[in-house]
Chains A and B, each alone.
Chain A
Amino acid sequence: MPGLIGADGFHRTAEAALGLEGVDGVEVLFLHEWGGLTRFAKSEIHQSAWREDTGLHVRVVRDGRVGVATSNDFSPEGALRAARSAKEMVDVVAPDPMWPGLAGPAEPAVREAFDDATADASAERRAEAVATLIAGCPDRFTAAGAFETRAIEVGIANTQGQRCWAPSTQASLTVVTSGGESGNGFAEVFSGRMQDVDPEAVGARAADKAVASQNPKPLDPGVYPVVLEPAAVSTLTGFLAYVGFGGRSLIEGRSCFSGKEGEKVAADSISIWDDASDPSTLGVPFDFEGVPRQRVDLIEDGVFLGAVYDRRTAKEAGRDSTGHGLPAPNPEGPFPLNLFLATGDASVEDMVAATERGVLVTRFHYSNVVNPVESSITGMTRDGTFLIENGEIVGPVMNFRFTQSILDALSDVSMIGADPELASEFFFSAARVPALKVERFNFSGRSDH
């Protein structure tokens, strides 16, 4: 059976690459992942998969010339072969004047994020959970979704003496319940431990939404007050990270925050930060260059404070890396993977009660950037969109297309939820965010369901 290779096992393999001669430095990034996924549709398990893979990313540098080779051959021979391949590249490329050097020794925080039960979760356990969820499906409704359990270990070793390694586990259950006449309901839970995933509760939440979503009516597009549940808010924060929070886009003037350090960009109640060390998220305590991840306050009380940096963009900006590098080579630059949005004191019910006429959005679908400098994005609502009138949900409405500046939306926030949830817009990152009430939100079109 698979299991942790461990720091010592990784370092033994990495040594073969680190010993490469004729270069100034070598860095080995190690990734090992295994786990299973039980996928269901129409209340049947239709796909069950399990996989294990390793990855070695070897970065070699000489005179500021950098090459990277990757391999899934986790053996000393495989590591050395990748290092030699990277060295071939170094021999022909021009030096990078912004090369910052490899990370030096630094001790990242230790995080207990590995759960044996999750790492060893069997197909039977996942199937049992799915069966529990489906048993709660109302008559004439079916459930679709996926239950995934994963174990991951990440390590960095380089010729500057940096050595770090961290194991972690993740469990996620996503469900869309559908049936009746028309209309779906969605619910999802992410956690570091399988035991935190309550299939009955997740299924009930999706089922309630699906029942309430039957026979949606058309509502004219336009600007409405909206209540955004956490999954929908994670789309806003995820795209804000994409178009704004990276140090590289900030430096190059491509960020929606370029030139706005210290300026008001959102409502006073909005604070956003990145913190991999918070136990309520799924973070690794160091980045993919081996730099300890720091908490970075990005927006505080509505004011933009700064971005996240990797070693290269930090050098360009004349500052230190914040520990947000992605695997090299990475033309996109640094990225915050563990966002938080400050909570308030309202419940979703409070927000609905405070809305004379508006729309409640469960989640968004297939969003994309319209104009990065304006932080405007477009996307669709799905799996639970409701009309609010006189402080009550009066019925489901057909899905809207929205086209909206994220910063304008965050400037119009009037209420913030007290209960944050971990949600993921992009598969490689997660944000812990509460529900929001936004007073003006632009629905620019409508679908037929």
Chain B
Amino acid sequence: VAEEGVDVLEVAKSAVDAAMKAGATFADARVGTDLTESITVRNQQMEGIDRGESTGVGVRVLVDGRWGFASTARLDEAEIARTAGVAVELARAATRLPGDPVRLDHVEPVVDSWRSPMNEDPFTVPLEEKVALLMEATRRAQQVKGVTFAEGGLDFFRRSTWFASSDGAAIDQVTTQSGGGIEAVAIGEGDMQRRSFPNSFRGHISAAGWEHIRTLALIEEAERTGREAVELLAAPECPSEVTTIVLDSGQVELQIHESIGHPVELDRVLGMEEAYAGSSWLKPQDRGKVRYASPLVSITADATLSGGLGSFGYDDEGVAAQRTPVIVDGIFENFLTNRETAPVVGQDSNGTSRADGWSHLPLIRMTNISIEPREGTLADIIGDTEDGLFMATNQSWSIDDKRINFQFGCEIAWRIRKGKLTQVYKNPNYTGITPEFWGSCDAVGGRESWMLWGTPNCGKGQPGQVARVGHGASPARFRDVRVGVRG
């Protein structure tokens, strides 16, 4: 919409004005435009190529201490006023039940612009170049004898947001994200094995431009990816035992996401997500008291990192991006908060309120939740392990409603014997209890093995919202873990 010469911030301000006129005591509005492009190739054929665009405005209000939120795709003046009125009606209806009124923390209103870093705009790179990259990468994987199909995908995403509030904030932001990956699948008698590169579920996504795709080495790694898929078909099943496991940084990413990122969301802790995604094993009074992990583990929420899917200038409440220690040397220190929940723990928001675009109410969402690097490479950790399993690349995940009991599957595992990788196993998985598992961590890789991964599919809320979040992760080692769970 900005390209059409409209002062979009003024549209957002008009929505705020309409809401205040309708009776709101506080209002904010986000006009947003999402652009997407997705390309998928399988076995040298186009599986799909699509582009999408979505524009609209969401208005959030407080009336008598209750929230109302309404959104519309039509940006004419009358529709915006109507939508603001609907938001006020919703908030008024919420007063039908008694309850503590919402009180927001104090935030100095900001007037600013922010852009995520990008060298080469992925939306202007010719489609031919994108398709050619995937064709060549999948051709190389498919050349490996025994590969049934090879698939490659590229995804590009741009979100433009114009935010205004009745406090006087006026912020425009643009985030551009690029990602890509390949996978090879080998199908045998009653068996299917998959290897992905650089990560599963559409690869490695970063808040960057086409230059990120150039660094992925999809073509260079395609043949190895195919070979490993075929090798897995002939490999034995991961044994069932209790042992030491080393996880690659891609799996540590999801382990952080599910067993640390979600349970430290303060809205979950306060029961606000109880009926759907669940709550948390943590309590508000646990800050500074609970040992969450071994002293080697420090976790930080950092929206100021460059290149993360959870990086931004301001969250969807106009709160500046921040770096917050979540776990320090194994002790739980801070929740992820927003303006509504932070006062419950005597704090101001640490800036994690984000919505799935203009049509959704902002919720507490992970930013970039990362493990702080310690020492050594993956090879160093494996070399230092007498006996155990090295598991790589997430395949599946499951965790209970309080984020205590989890089970993860990986694509591949290797037996570690006297510091060397030996036997390959298929269908590896492991299970554990969150504080016990993190408490058993006795090695975390250093900066040289740390990767800032993107998780573009984090689900939460009703109606369902999908967030794009980041996780910095090094490979790590855990002791006495149950592996090889079978049905």
Task: Give A contacts to B, CB under 8 Å.
Answer: 1, 36-54, 65-74, 85-86, 88-89, 92-94, 96-98, 122-124, 126-128, 130-131, 134, 142, 144-146, 148, 174-176, 178, 184, 252-254, 328-331, 365-374, 376-380, 382-383, 399, 401, 403-405, 408, 427, 442, 444-449
Is A67 in contact with B50, judged by CB distance below 8 angstroms?
yes
Cβ distance B100 to chain A, nearest Cβ, rounded Å: 7
Ranked 4 nearest A-B pairs via Cβ: A329-B48, A44-B99, A123-B93, A376-B487
- Taking A70-B54, A178-B271, A254-B185 as known contacts, 10 extra A-B pairs with beta carbons closer than 8 A to each other, sorted by chain A number, are A38-B90, A45-B97, A73-B53, A142-B271, A329-B38, A365-B278, A370-B485, A383-B401, A403-B487, A444-B431
Structural contact, B276 and A174, CB atoms closer than 8 A: yes
Decide: B407 and A148 in contact? CB cutoff 8 A: no
Interface positions, chain B 295-318, Cβ under 8 Å from A, are: none
Give chain B residues whose Cβ lies under 8 Å from the Cβ of A403.
Answer: 407, 485-487
Contact of B462 among A50, A148, A330, A448 (CB under 8 A): A148
Shortest distance from the beta carbon of A154 to any chain B beta carbon, whole Å: 17
Task: Identify B97's interface contact among A37, A66, A131, CB under 8 A.
Answer: A131
Known: A41-B272, A175-B275, A445-B405. A74 touches B48 (CB 8 A): no
Taking the closest CB of chain A, its distance from the CB of B131, in whole angstroms, is: 6
Question: Is B67 in contact with A48, judged by CB distance below 8 angstroms?
Answer: yes
Contact residue among B51, B407, B463 (Cβ-Cβ distance under 8 Å from A378):
B407
CA distance A14 to B464 in the complex (A): 29
Cβ-neighbour of A365 out of B58, B126, B401 (below 8 A): B401
10 cross-chain CB contacts under 8 A: A49-B70, A52-B73, A68-B50, A127-B93, A370-B429, A382-B400, A382-B401, A399-B400, A401-B407, A447-B405
The residues of B with any CB-CB pair to A shorter than 8 Å are: 38, 40, 42, 44-56, 58, 66-73, 82, 86-87, 89-94, 96-100, 126-128, 131, 135, 148-149, 151, 185, 187, 190-192, 270-276, 278, 281, 359-361, 396-402, 404-405, 407, 409, 427, 429, 431, 433, 462-464, 482, 485-487
Asked if B462 contacts A54 (CB within 8 A), the reply is: no
Question: Do A45 and B94 have beta carbons less than 8 Å apart?
Answer: yes
How close is B362's CB to chain A, nearest CB, in angstroms? 10
Residue pair B40, A331 in contact (C-beta under 8 Å): yes
Determine the distance from Cα of A64 to Cα of B73 in the docked complex, in whole angstroms: 33
Q: Which residues of B contact A365 (CB under 8 A)?
A: 278, 400-401
A44-B97 in contact (CB<8A): yes
Chain B residues whose CB sits within 8 angstroms of the CB of A447 once the complex forms: 400, 402, 404-405, 433
Establish whether residues A51 and B97, one from each chain, have CB atoms under 8 Å apart when the complex forms: no
Chain A residues with CB under 8 A of B433: 447-448
Separation of A370 and B427 alpha carbons in the complex (Å): 8
Once bound together, how far apart are the Cα atoms of A252 and B151, in whole Å? 14
Nearest residue, chain A, Cβ from B409: A370
| Cβ B398 vs Cβ A39 within 8 A | no
* Residue in A145, A371, A408 whose CB lies within 8 Å of B275: A145
A-chain residues with CB within 8 Å of residue B86 when the two chains form the complex: 50
Contacts of B431 in A (CB 8 A): 401, 444-445
* Shortest Cβ gap from B76 to chain A (Å): 12
Pick the residue among A38, A43, A371 that contacts B93 (CB under 8 A). Answer: A38
Which residue of B51, B272, B274, B482 is within 8 Å of A89 (Cβ)? Answer: B51
Please measure, in the bound complex, the distance between the C-alpha atom of A123 and the C-alpha atom of B93, giving whole angstroms: 6
Q: Which of B82, B89, B185 has the most CB of A within 10 A?
A: B89
Which of A72, A86, A366 is within 8 Å of B73, CB to CB?
A72
A53 to B135, CA, bound (A): 36
Known contacts A146-B462, A366-B398: A49-B275 contact under CB 8 Å: no
Tell me which residues across on chain B come within 8 A of A176, comparing CB atoms.
274-275
- The CA-CA distance from A427 to B427 in the complex, in Å, is 28
A89 and B40 CA atoms in complex are apart in Å by 12
State the CA gap A137–B67 with chains docked (Å).
Answer: 23
Contacting A366 at CB < 8 Å: which of B127, B281, B401, B427?
A: B401
Q: Is the CB of B53 within 8 A of A93?
A: no
A444 and B97 within 8 A (CB): no
Bound together, the chains give a CA A96 to CA B131 distance in angstroms of 14
Residue from B67, B73, B149, B275 within 8 A of A54 (CB atoms): B73
In contact, B400 and A380 (Cβ under 8 angstroms): yes
Give min CB distance, B455 to chain A, whole Å: 15
Q: How far does the alpha carbon of A365 sit from the alpha carbon of B56 in the complex, in Å?
A: 33
Q: How far is the CB of A261 from chain B (nearest CB, A)?
A: 15
- Are B49's CB and A329's CB within 8 A? yes
Q: Roughly how many angstroms separate A178 CA and B462 CA in the complex, as a whole number?
A: 19
